Amino acid sequence: MKARHKRIAIIVGGLASLSIAAFFVLNALNSNIALFFTPTQVYAGEAPKDRVFRIGGMVRDGSLQRNSMTVHFVVTDTAKDIPVAYTGILPDLFKEGKGVVAQGKLGPDGQFIATEVLAKHDANYMPPEAKHAIDQAQAERMEKTLTRMVAKPTPVP
């Protein structure tokens, strides 16, 4: 075998090894990623059905129910609600009306089965995605209200 052929064989072998290593690294990263979705996005079917993801929003007031170690609550972005079930100990800062991010999978019945629940850490914190979703839902609600008010003017006596 000529030196030129040996050099080409080493380069091709090196590129093949590098490609295989890159494939395994990217595959590991892809399988461990947990994307963030709002309740509106989950309701619209944008969230994966068979993969772990995060859902964030506010815990709806009056929705918290404890059943031994299982806790049921509703996460909302003021537009849509998603029921959540979590078995385990909740963070100390977890409360109704406060921000929450839960990680888990969507069950076949549409209930989110959480494996981890994170509560906000201070009075001003909310994940940027959740804040944007809540602001957008409130803006849409306000727009609908204004549209109804314009469509139905109240008679002046």
Name 103's bridge partners: 54, 116
Condensed to tens digits (0 to 9), the pLDDT of residues 7-63 reads: 999 999 999 999 999 998 888 877 677 788 999 998 888 888 888 899 999 999 999
User: Is residue 155 scored above 70 in pLDDT?
Assistant: no
Residue, of 76 and 130, whose pLDDT is higher = 76
Q: Mean pLDDT, the chain, as a whole number?
A: 85
* Measured distance CA(47)–CA(28) in Å, rounded: 20
pLDDT at residue 28, as a whole number: 81
Can you read off the two tokens belonging to residue 86? 């979590």
User: Given pLDDT bands bounded at 50, 70 and 90, which one contains residue 105?
Assistant: very high
User: Given pLDDT bands bounded at 50, 70 and 90, which one contains residue 92?
Assistant: confident
91: closest CA among 127, 69, 117?
117
Can you read off the two tokens belonging to residue 73? 């609550």
pLDDT at residue 85, as a whole number: 95
86: closest CA among 76, 99, 75, 98?
75
User: Given pLDDT bands bounded at 50, 70 and 90, which one contains residue 122?
Assistant: low
User: Given pLDDT bands bounded at 50, 70 and 90, which one contains residue 79?
Assistant: confident
* Measured distance CA(103)–CA(63) in Å, rounded: 19
CA distances from 122 to 10, 78, 119 (A): 57, 21, 9
Question: What are the residue boundaries of the structural domains of the chain, listed by start?
Answer: 1-33, 36-150
**Could you tell me which CATH number the domain at 36-150 has?**
2.40.50.140
Tell me whether strands 99-106 and 81-87 are parallel, antiparallel or unpaired: unpaired
Tell me the percentage of the chain whose pLDDT exceeds 70: 89
Tell me whether strands 70-76 and 112-119 are parallel, antiparallel or unpaired: unpaired
User: Is residue 126 scored above 80 in pLDDT?
Assistant: no
Beta-carbon contacts of 84 under 8 Å, excluding residues fewer than 6 positions away, are: 55, 72, 73, 74, 75, 102, 104, 111, 112, 113, 114
User: Is residue 123 scored above 60 in pLDDT?
Assistant: no
* Measured distance CA(117)–CA(84) in Å, rounded: 10
